C-alpha cells in the first residue's frame, strides 16, 4: 500500500516542501478546522500539522494513522501519551529557528528599551514638525548595555538570545525552574531572577509546571522598570494579570509574540486599546524565510525517516 501523507495546514509555512523519495501520495490542505481533521485524515498514514490539536478522541477515530510530523518544535497540541499507547510516531523539527527567534527577541528588546513604537506613532501624529528643538524627548530611552537579562529556558533559542545579548554588553542570568527545590550550578532561583531582571525572556516549553508561571505574584516581584518578553507559549503568562500590571505600571513594558489562544478572540485582555507599553507580534518570531525553509527540509526528512522504518526527532 502506498502511504498517504496529508498536510493539514500548508499555508502556515511559506516555503516549498520537497517530496519524500519513497512511493507515497501527498495531499495539501491550505488550512483545516478542528471538525475537518478526522474526515481529512481518515485514510492517511502520515499527518503533517503545525498547531492543530490531536488528542485521544481524535486518534480513536483514525486507526490508519501511524505518524504525526510536526511542522514545529513545540508539541503541546498533541497528546503524546495517547500516541505512545496507540503506537503513533510523533516527530518534531529542531533548531530551525535558532537565528530567527533570537533576532526577533533582540528586536523586541530594542523596541521596548528605545520606545520605538511610541516615537513612530508620535511622528506619524505630527509631533516632530511641532517640536521646538531638532528632536523631542517625550519618551525615555535606555541602553541594553549593562542591563541584566534573565532567561527561562536554556535550549537552543535561549542560548541564541544569550549570545546576542552578551554582544550588546548585557549580563545574562539563567533561571532555575519555578518551584524547584534545588538550584543547579549556573542557575539562579526563579524568585531571585524576578527581582534582578531588567529584561525577563521566556524560552521554555508549556507544561503543567510552567503554565501560568508569570502570574500576578511574579509580576509584582519584578522591578517596575523591567520588561517581559515571551516568544515561547502564551499560556506561560496569566494574560489578564499582565494587562493589569501594564496599566498600573507594575512593570515598564512587555513584548509578546504568542498568546494563549491563536488567533485570539477580539475581546482578548491583551488586545484592549488602553494597555500601555505593550508590543504584540502575531507568532512570527520563528518565521524568517530561512527558518521556514529549514523547517520544511526537516519535516520531509522526518517523514522519509519514518517511511524507512527509522523515525528521527521522535517524541513518541
Q: Is there a contact between 90 and 75 (Cβ–Cβ < 8 Å)? A: yes
Asked whether the domain spanning 100-280 has the same topology as the one spanning 4-96+290-307, the reply is yes
pLDDT of 51-66, one tens digit each? Answer: 999 999 999 999 999 9
Q: Which of 11, 56, 166, 262 is catalytic?
A: 262
Per-residue pLDDT of 26-41, as tens digits, reads 999 999 999 999 999 9
Task: Evaluate whether 232 touches 258 at the Cβ level (below 8 Å).
Answer: yes
> Per-residue confidence at 200, pLDDT binned at 50, 70, 90?
very high
- Catalytic residue of the set 233, 239, 268, 294: 233
What are the cell numbers at 27?
495531499
Tell how strand 199-202 and strand 278-280 pair up: unpaired
Mean pLDDT, range 81-91, rounded to an integer:
98
CATH 3.40.50.720 fits 4-96+290-307, yes or no: yes
- CATH no., domain 100-280: 3.40.50.720
Based on the residue annotation, tell me whether 268 is a catalytic residue of this protein. Answer: no
pLDDT, position 179? 87
Q: Does this model's pTM top 0.85?
A: yes
Report the candidate in 172, 152, 167, 163 with the shortest Cα–Cα distance to residue 229: 152
Residue from 177, 203, 283, 294 carrying the catalytic annotation: 283
10 included as an active-site residue: no
* Mean pLDDT estimate for the chain: 97
| Per-residue confidence (pLDDT) for residue 1, from 0 to 100 | 84
Buried/exposed code over 217-255 (b: 16+ C-beta within 10 A; e: otherwise): ebbebbbeebbbbbbbbbbbbbbebbbebbeeebbbbbb
Residue 106 confidence class, pLDDT cut points 50, 70, 90: very high
250 flagged as catalytic: no
What are the residue ranges spanned by the domains of the chain? 4-96+290-307, 100-280
Amino acid at each position: 500500500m502506498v502511504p498517504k501523507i496529508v498536510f493539514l495546514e500548508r499555508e502556515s509555512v511559506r516555503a516549498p516542501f520537497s517530496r519524500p523519495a519513497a512511493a507515497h501520495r501527498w495531499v495539501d490542505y491550505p488550512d483545516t478546522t478542528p471538525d475537518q481533521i478526522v474526515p481529512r485524515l481518515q485514510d492517511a498514514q502520515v499527518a503533517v500539522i503545525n498547531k492543530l490539536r490531536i488528542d485521544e478522541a481524535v486518534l480513536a477515530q483514525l486507526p490508519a494513522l501511524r505518524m504525526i510530523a510536526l511542522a514545529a518544535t513545540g508539541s503541546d497540541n498533541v497528546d503524546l501519551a495517547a500516541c505512545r499507547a496507540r503506537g503513533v510516531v510523533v516527530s518534531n523539527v529542531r533548531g530551525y529557528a535558532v537565528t530567527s527567534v533570537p533576532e526577533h527577541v533582540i528586536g523586541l528588546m530594542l523596541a521596548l528599551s528605545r520606545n520605538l513604537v511610541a516615537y513612530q506613532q508620535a511622528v506619524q501624529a505630527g509631533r516632530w514638525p511641532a517640536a521646538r528643538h531638532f528632536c523631542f524627548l517625550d519618551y525615555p530611552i535606555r541602553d541594553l548595555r549593562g542591563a541584566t537579562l534573565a532567561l527561562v529556558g536554556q535550549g537552543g533559542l535561549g542560548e541564541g538570545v544569550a549570545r546576542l545579548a552578551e554582544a550588546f554588553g548585557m549580563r545574562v542570568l539563567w533561571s532555575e525552574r519555578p518551584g524547584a527545590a534545588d538550584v543547579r550550578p549556573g542557575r539562579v532561583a526563579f524568585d531571585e531572577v524576578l527581582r534582578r531582571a531588567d529584561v525577563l525572556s521566556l524560552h521554555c516549553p508549556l507544561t503543567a509546571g510552567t503554565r501560568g508561571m508569570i502570574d500576578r505574584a511574579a509580576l509584582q516581584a519584578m522591578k517596575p522598570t523591567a520588561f517581559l518578553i515571551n516568544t515561547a507559549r502564551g499560556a506561560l503568562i496569566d494574560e489578564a494579570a499582565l494587562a493589569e500590571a501594564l496599566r498600573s505600571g507594575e512593570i515598564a513594558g512587555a513584548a509578546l509574540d504568542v498568546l494563549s489562544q491563536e488567533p485570539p478572540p477580539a475581546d482578548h485582555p491583551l488586545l484592549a486599546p488602553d494597555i500601555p507599553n505593550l508590543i504584540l507580534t502575531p507568532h512570527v518570531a520563528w518565521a524568517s524565510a530561512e527558518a521556514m525553509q529549514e523547517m520544511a527540509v526537516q519535516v520531509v526528512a522526518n517523514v522519509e525517516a519514518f517511511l524507512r522504518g527509522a523515525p528521527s526527532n521522535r517524541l513518541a
